Structure 1
Amino acid sequence: MLPLALAAAAAAAAIGVQAVFDPFTQDVPLCPLHALTGLDCPGCGATRAVHALLAGDPLLALHSNALIVLAMPVVLALYVRWIVDRVRGRGRIIDPPKGMLLGLGALVAVFTIARNLPGLEFLSAPSLVPGA
């Protein structure tokens, strides 16, 4: 029941936020790294990416934060696997191999560096808020 309750709560929250908040027209000052340095961290644009996906605009979502958008199917698959395991009575502890964690860390680092390099601005999170 816990996995389904979490999914229902997340869906309700997403629908509620989608209805009253638009991160493309309202400033979202959540990233201290960006506020202090002007650089995009790997999470910059994640709110806008999820908002764009929920609004049915996958291209804008990819432009906002490609890493988050590409990670979503993997996270969803892991979540479904967790639900199935819980329903079958198996409380599996997720213990990924060390190499997988290192690879994921390297991918995040490369994405973070790339989105801040000249010529790769298309990887940076867009801001459509006037004056932001």
Structure 2
Amino acid sequence: MNLRPIRTQRILRRCGFCIAIFALAGIAHVLSIANPSGEWQAFFPKCMFFLATGLHCPGCGCQRAIHHLFNGRILLALQCNAMVIIALPWLTWEAARASLLFLEFPLPQILAVRWRLSGKQAMSIAIAVMAFWVLRNIPCRPFEWLAPPVTKAAFAFLPWRKFPSCAVSVNGKLEAYPTTAIATPAAAVKTRG
């Protein structure tokens, strides 16, 4: 039996995994240095759902949350996207486990535990994500805290949305919570003349 193709496949897998690890380390380094809502805003990808509708999806604020988490600002990270920060330990656990399985390494005892979700648990998570999505777009005081801080540059992409009067600063300090005063696209067209 010729084992050469199997060895070649393992070598290619491990090389691809190393390239992916270096790419993720580079992305993590950029996110730790560059503030996605600051001067580097044009460099980072925008949320297509937010650009199309002006509403926050469940993932809006992830880049800013990871940036603040890397820099030790846990409360700001939670305010940008609490759901992702709370799910991060589980996501890290599953990523480490999947990586070792992909590389065909034996799993350490601590990673051998597999969290299996039942149908009810998966449905509960889906309902929680949908509730988070809806609640963070309600423009009243307790729910708007779930939305990420709004910067003036974010409104440059949305011609029909007005910048709120109580803005937050870009330098990482929250001065006030955002309000989501949305004008309809038809009203924006009428005011342009």
TM-score (norm: length of structure 1): 0.77
- Structure 1 residue 82 and structure 2 residue 98: aligned? yes
Aligned identity (percent) is 29
5+ residue gaps, structure 1: none
| Alpha-carbon distance in structure 2 between the residues aligned to 1:16 and 1:29 | 13
Instruction: Say if 2:69 and 2:77, in contact at 8 Å, map to a contact too.
Output: yes
Instruction: Say if 1:49 and 1:69, in contact at 8 Å, map to a contact too.
Output: yes
- Corresponding position of 1:121: 144
1:12-41 per-position Cα deviation (integer Å, ceiling 9, x unaligned) = 32103433x321212556222212221110
5+ residue gaps, structure 2: 1-12, 156-193
Say which structure is richer in helix.
1
- Structure 1 residue identity aligned to 2:72: G
TM-score (norm: length of structure 2): 0.56
- Corresponding position of 2:133: 112
Distance 1:129 1:29, change over 3 A: farther
Instruction: Say if 2:31 and 2:63, in contact at 8 Å, map to a contact too.
Output: no
Residue range with higher mean Cα deviation, 106-115 or 93-102 = 93-102
Highest CA radius of gyration, 1 or 2?
2
Relative contact order (alpha carbons < 8 A, sep ≥ 6): 1 or 2 greater?
1
CA RMSD of aligned residues (A): 3.0
